[in-house]
Chain A
């Protein structure tokens, strides 16, 4: 399969000032710390992690909503990090973003038609009557009645608003869609509607997704390959089947065993983690996960594990393997 996106050694450090107003000491939040992965054409890659793991920052770096501190982002063979903003702009058409909160990502003063038409007009893809037609088509595609085009966002429910967000993202026929927790604000019955829609669109338009979520159940439903992130680093990348059947990294094991299963008879050996995710300002030495890991050894406290391939489809960053 052809690679659509290649990410290598991606880092994002946010500076924060500690101490007094005049102190010179600057610390960094290592939100994304040396992350590498690829997305193939037509593939759905899931990026999972808990709050503060850096998954959203990673997504934003890809579309340059944030500038990376270091690392390469290669899209269709073109190195985007070397580009100026003007050079990057045409690529924005190919990479679109869907946000978590459909309430705050739509301008309340723009009608739906206007919101969906905005990217089309900005990129000069269509003019005049064509824009209107395109908006109608897009609304049909995402399951909204085109007669609602002149309404405002507040007149729609959460699920419908997320559909508007999706229509907007599709407006420019992108190749890659980065969806940041697109269903986590929605009720389960509505969530299933939107997941099915994303699934259908992918087949219809040959899209690739980077699907960012904290909910492993949702991720496994849509994604063929899943990357697990912890405190700014990828700890495991695997195909869906093997990740769920046999999670390798102790963090992935804890994460998969912590998902509540809607079956009261499910008897499970739960790996209950101690404590919570540490601060990314002062991450633990060696393996970032070692203070919460039951298998931690002296080596884990000192040496940072790198992501290594354990077989054709999966890699893990852990000294156990």
Chain B
């Protein structure tokens, strides 16, 4: 069932205070995700998507990083107000996270089965026998073949795809209300990626969990997400449901991303890349962050920061071009 909000992030700001100045890695990000919904956060390296995820779990190293403003509402509480020990009860229990590289997050000296039973005993107070039985069940849920034999293996005995399944099993151990997946398939081959995406889709449907999927791959977004947030240089530049975003991208950055993708459907000899590179986060431009690379840049874009506003029902964009002009622009192309 969708419609019940699981997480609501309001005006989140996470900055890094370094010798050279202040890096505004996440600068006023707002979004919400409902139960049984997959929210995609897309953007290129350095846009702040991973820091946003880590800020939700309060995993940003401090110093140098600090969440300086905003609210993170989850199950009736503002996570930013919780004490560290209260927060520990949320992490891995009500909100779990899976990462791009499972090998870095699994303990290499511990049998994978024990790593999951540890979570169960810690958060759910299960005894050894119960925890082991539940772990076996979880291994079956994530389609690990011959799960009985695999419990006593070490992480290095698993392939990349299987390790990611172990991570997912661990993340699901406490049936979290929210699962955050940070580039979960980026290190995997396409055929294995397809298997993992299939698994995530099943988790959404069976457990009615909310999922935040962080990725740079618009193909993955189209495959699995219900709602999409596009980030650029620390800000959300566009937000819409997945159909509207791909049918009618409003922000020039989103449009640029879609145009630079090689796809079997629009095969052209020349791709249309976005010129230039993302800005240095220490030297953010005064007006719109995307203005220096934008084909539709006007004087106003250089002088004033555009507001994040609704340009069509349920479709938000941070751009000075209004929807009427944008339609004209699209028609002129």
Contacts and interface: CB of A to CB of B under 8 A. Distances in A.
A143 to B, nearest CB: 10
B221 A189 contact: no
Contact of B277 (A50, A190, A273): A190
Given A191-B273, A192-B273, A259-B219, 15 more contacts: A159-B277, A187-B216, A188-B257, A192-B272, A193-B275, A199-B270, A215-B190, A217-B263, A218-B262, A258-B193, A258-B194, A259-B264, A260-B190, A262-B246, A264-B243
B277 A188 contact: no
Given A258-B193, A260-B223, A263-B222, A190 B262 contact: no
A307 interface: no
Interface string B177-207: 0000000000001111111011000000000
B222 A189 contact: no
A220 B264 contact: yes
A259 B197 CA distance: 12
B269 A199 contact: yes
A260 B215 CA distance: 12
Contacts of A90: none
A126 interface: no
B265 A192 contact: no
Given A196-B271, A217-B264, A264 B242 contact: yes
Nearest to A270: B194
Interface in A227-252: 244
Contacts of A262: 218-219, 221-222, 246, 258, 261, 263
Contact of A195 (B44, B243, B271): B271
B161 interface: yes
A54 B145 CA distance: 26
Interface of B: 44-45, 145, 159-162, 189-195, 197-198, 216-223, 225, 242-243, 246, 256-265, 267, 269-275, 277
Interface string A185-216: 00111111101100100000000000000111
B195 A272 contact: yes
A191 B243 CA distance: 25
A29 interface: no
Contacts of B189: 50-51, 214, 276-277
A264 B44 contact: no
B106 to A, nearest CB: 18
A217 B271 CA distance: 12
B243 A265 contact: yes
Nearest to B162: A276
A218 B261 CA distance: 9
Given A218-B262, A258-B194, A270-B194, A192 B219 contact: no
A260 B262 contact: no
A258 B262 CA distance: 16
30 contacts: A50-B191, A188-B218, A188-B257, A188-B260, A190-B277, A191-B273, A192-B260, A193-B273, A193-B275, A196-B270, A199-B269, A217-B261, A220-B262, A254-B191, A255-B191, A257-B194, A258-B193, A259-B219, A260-B193, A260-B194, A260-B220, A262-B221, A264-B225, A264-B242, A264-B246, A270-B194, A272-B194, A272-B195, A273-B194, A273-B195
A260 B219 contact: yes
Contact of B271 (A159, A214, A221, A276): A221
Contacts of A159: 277
A189 B256 contact: yes
For A188, A215, A257, A273, which residue has the most chain B Cβ atoms within 10 angstroms?
A188
Contact of B191 (A189, A218, A258): A258
Contacts of A83: none
A302 interface: no
B233 to A, nearest CB: 13
Interface in A292-316: none
B291 to A, nearest CB: 15
Contacts of B222: 260-264, 266
A190 B278 CA distance: 10
Interface residues of A, number: 40
Given A262-B222, A265-B243, A217 B269 contact: no
Nearest to A218: B262
A196 B271 CA distance: 6
Given A196-B273, A270-B194, A273-B195, A260 B217 contact: yes
A77 interface: no
A157 interface: yes
Contacts of B265: 261, 263
A189 B219 contact: no
Nearest to B190: A258
A220 B267 contact: yes
7 A-B pairs closest in CB distance:
A260-B219, A192-B273, A192-B260, A221-B262, A50-B189, A187-B44, A189-B274
A19 interface: no
Nearest to A261: B219
Contacts of A195: 262, 271
A237 to B, nearest CB: 18
A275 interface: yes
